[in-house]
Amino acid sequence: MLLVEDTTDLAASLLAHLRAQGHAVDLAPDAETARAALAVSDYACVILDLGLPDGSGLDVLRERRAAGDSTPVIIATARDQIADRIAGLDAGADDYVVKPFDLRELSARIRANARRGQGLPETRLAIGALEVDRAAARVWREGGEVRLTSREWALFDTMLGARGRVLTKAALEEALYAFDTPIEGNAIEVYVSRLRQKLGAEVIETRRGLGYVLS
């Protein structure tokens, strides 16, 4: 996801929280950086501050919506007036939270908006012998809960959101790692192997020369 936030301490806190949950997060401290990031990357969600040092977050949002970008956007701002909320939602925001906010609530809003952005609003899923609760980030196999690390869950959840579609290694790397994070060459293979061990070898299918797909 993309975090557009210019307050250094808050940005650091949000990055630490979201990355600890397994999210790949890019940081844009101003409108110019946000525009550049949105022009070259596809994000599952954008967390957008309004008061940026080089302009308004609303202008960035309006530009992206005018360009046909439907990426879910959550405005996170200190502006708490009804008029500000109306302006943000009218500009195309999907959600609006006022600072200071609870990090757990923000995480829940991110999950909900990302699911809607994928066209998969449901949270409880049954896939073969697996039962999945995407909202709680929990998986059960044949009635017993399977413990996944944050990165394992992030990879699995990405594949859940693309059910039926083959995801390339590059697409999975983009989902798991921020733009400036070094990636080991076989990282995706390692996480796929771990998921197969925990969830069942049949859960993830390899399409040779193409990528991976959730069976």
Looking at residue 126, its pLDDT comes to: 86
Count of structural domains within the chain: 2
DSSP helix, strand, coil percent of the chain (3-state; round to 5): 40, 20, 35
Tokens 């994000």 locate to: 43
pLDDT tens sequence across 158-178: 888 887 789 888 888 887 777
Q: What is the pTM of this model?
A: 0.66
Record the tokens describing residue 185, joined without a space.
């060459």
User: Are 91 and 195 within one domain?
Assistant: no
Residue 96: domain span: 2-117
Claim to verify: residue 46 and residue 20 sit in the same structural domain? yes
Are 109 and 135 within one domain? no
Interatomic CA distance for residues 97 and 109, integer angstroms: 9
Mean residue pLDDT of the chain comes to 88
Give start and end residues of each alpha helix (H) in 1-56: 8-20, 31-40
Parts of the chain with a pLDDT under 70: 117-122, 179-183
The three-point CA angle 75-151-97 to 5° equals 15
25 with 70, same domain: the answer is: yes
Measured N-to-C along each axis, helices 187-199 and 150-161 cross at an angle, to the nearest 10 degrees, of 90
**Does one domain contain both 87 and 136?**
no
